[in-house]
Amino acid sequence: MSLVTVLYHDDFMLHSPEPYQHPENPARLRRVLEALRARSLEGRVQVREPREGNSSVFTSVHSPSYLKYVLSLGDQGVSWIDADTYVSPGTRKAVARLAGAADEAVSLALEGGKAFIAGRPPGHHAGIAGRALGAPTNGFCIVNTAALVARMLSARSKPVVVVDFDLHHGNGTQEIFWDDPNIIHIDIHQDPATIYPGVGFPEDLGTGEAKGTKVNIVTPPYSGDDIYMHALSVVRAIVEEVKPDYIVFSAGFDAYRGDNDFTVMNVGSRFYWEAGRTLSALAKGVVAVLEGGYGVGLERGLEAFMAGLTGLSEDPVGDRESASMESALRFYSRALARLKKALKEAGSPYWDVVEEPGLRPS
């Protein structure tokens, strides 16, 4: 069994849209805290308050002008960066606490431990200067904590692997590390032609010496457990090739079936449990950072993932697995073939482990 340290502070609740309604709100963390009290996690997780840090550390992944702008905007009350993304008077405090949590999580990972930053605002859509790779908005995100953690870890050991399994592509993370060969960014997400942020295609591989280190595994709407479990096998094969000391998870739970009104995926608990269990076993230290998830995914999906991180030998949630329709399987097979071809043409050593799914329709 591995003990996972959960870094949480009430300051993360201060980033708030009130009096406006918004899906990214403090109630999300109440769901997270409830999930962490599950019987399956008793004695396996410890919740600790991180110290307040210096927000300026985020300039290692964001431009100083963006960071100054986005933090000062909240001093005027609830303000909107764009149609999706708000800043509030409490955002500055929440970001400072995220900075402290990132520093503590890195220290734990360097000691061979596992940490989960149960914080907000989320960050994987936040790029160098906010909107990333031509996305229309910041997608609820302010600062990219997962990218900050990855950069801090890469200063001690290279390469670092970032695994993002949020429903949406982590375009901010990809932009930040687009030309950095020391960060292997592997992202499982819904077909960007059908969903925000509209980027993250199989041919998007990075540039220069980093070309081939950004891996986008595209899944179609209505993907079931079969597709997601196969996608996870591809991720694992790449991680086994890389042999990193450290893995950073951008842990979003909005692909969990029924998580919110906009989720069209059919992913159950086994994927999240296996992701936590099998991938964390391949690294010396692990840091997971909360990204998306707005409903039941933050309860059942998160419990399964955390159980996997602790090394629990079975999925405590135990959802019945679902199979995908034939049309979804055909799309996924084509997307994998595109990825394999692009990686091979780029001279990436990972192309050879991208295997055809061989899945059967329901």
Answer whether 203's CB lies under 8 Å from 194's CB.
no
CA diameter of the chain: 55
Other CB atoms closer than 10 Å to residue 252's CB: what's the count?
27
Catalytic residue among 62, 124, 125, 169: 125
CA 316 to chain centre: 22
As given in the structure block, the two tokens for residue 332 are: 């996924």
Residue 256 per-residue DSSP state: B
Q: Can you tell me the distance from the alpha carbon of 116 to that of 8, in angstroms, rounded to the nearest whole number?
A: 9
Q: Where are the beta strands (DSSP E) in the chain?
A: 4-7, 45-48, 79-80, 86-87, 114-117, 160-164, 183-190, 214-219, 246-251, 285-290
Q: Can you tell me the distance from the alpha carbon of 121 to that of 111, in angstroms, rounded to the nearest whole number?
A: 27
Answer whether 157's CB lies under 8 Å from 166's CB.
no
Nearest to 146 by CA among 189, 102, 104: 102
Which string of DSSP letters, residue by residue, matches 268-289? -HHHHHHIIIIIHTTSSEEEEE
Q: Is 125 a catalytic residue?
A: yes
Question: At a CB cut-off of 8 Å and minimum separation 6, what does 345 contact?
Answer: none
Helix (H) or strand (E) holding 102: helix 91-110
For residue 179, give Cα distances in angstroms to 26, 63, 173, 211, 305: 35, 16, 11, 7, 30
Q: Can you tell me the distance from the alpha carbon of 48 to that of 25, in angstroms, rounded to the nearest whole number?
A: 22
Answer whether 325's CB lies under 8 Å from 361's CB.
yes
Instruction: Write out the catalytic residue numbers.
Output: 125
